[in-house]
Chains A and B, each alone.
Chain A
Amino acid sequence: DQQVKQNSPSLSVQEGRISILNCDYTNSMFDYFLWYKKYPAEGPTFLISISSIKDKNEDGRFTVFLNKSAKHLSLHIVPSQPGDSAVYFCAASAEFSGSARQLTFGSGTQLTVLP
């Protein structure tokens, strides 16, 4: 069973507009959430994270929103730039996984920003 789901395999947006990437999770024990960006032939790069005690975290053009009651998080990119075109992975971890804080990943969303 997929505990972290990204239901949109792909998303296209116009340069300068907002990109919204969505992620749903089923395990209520998850308390730490991350977004990673991945370019072809490279490893995932950490983008932004949020703890379950918050509902919003912002870093420059990137904002992550967490809705615990809906078990839903989203990543907003404003304004979108062509260099943002990549695969975005949502990931989650739980305190119960111990000191190693194992991550559970979604299947990714390919974002294409059109010039």
Chain B
Amino acid sequence: NAGVTQTPKFQVLKTGQSMTLQCAQDMNHNSMYWYRQDPGMGLRLIYYSASEGTTDKGEVPNGYNVSRLNKREFSLRLESAAPSQTSVYFCAGRRGSNQPQHFGDGTRLSIL
């Protein structure tokens, strides 16, 4: 009963390096989301995918790209990492309207 699975759990990058954060769900979610959480702040939406084949920007999309590879998988890419992108990243999915989002356990990313 995996739910929403994020890989890796931890990562350290150097400024300018690129990396892709992976998210997969087995809960038949139609919509998927990427958030970042910084100290003292709530979760802020980076990108989301309302359905397979569509993606849209959220509140803080700069410096990121996403791919909704299929219904199960939604990846987040940092093309050229910056220290300001040091954060905890959460992926979430939701089955339908007025249903709660279900979250993965996060990826802790440090950029030096």
Chain A residues close to B by CB (< 8 Å): 4, 6, 9, 32, 34, 36, 41-46, 49, 51, 89, 91, 98-103, 105-108
Contact = CB atoms under 8 A, between A and B. Distances in A.
Contacts of B33: 100, 102-103
A46 B42 contact: no
Interface string B53-75: 00010100000000000000000
Given A43-B4, A44-B103, A45-B103, A102 B42 contact: no
Given A43-B103, A43-B104, A46-B100, A100 B42 contact: no
B45 interface: yes
A99 B52 CA distance: 12
A50 to B, nearest CB: 11
Contacts of B43: 44, 89, 103, 105
Interface residues of B, number: 29
A92 B79 CA distance: 31
Given A89-B42, A100-B31, A105-B43, A46 B102 contact: yes
Given A106-B42, A107-B41, A41 B105 contact: yes
Given A4-B42, A107-B40, A100 B106 contact: no
A34 B100 contact: yes
Contacts of B98: 32, 49, 51, 101
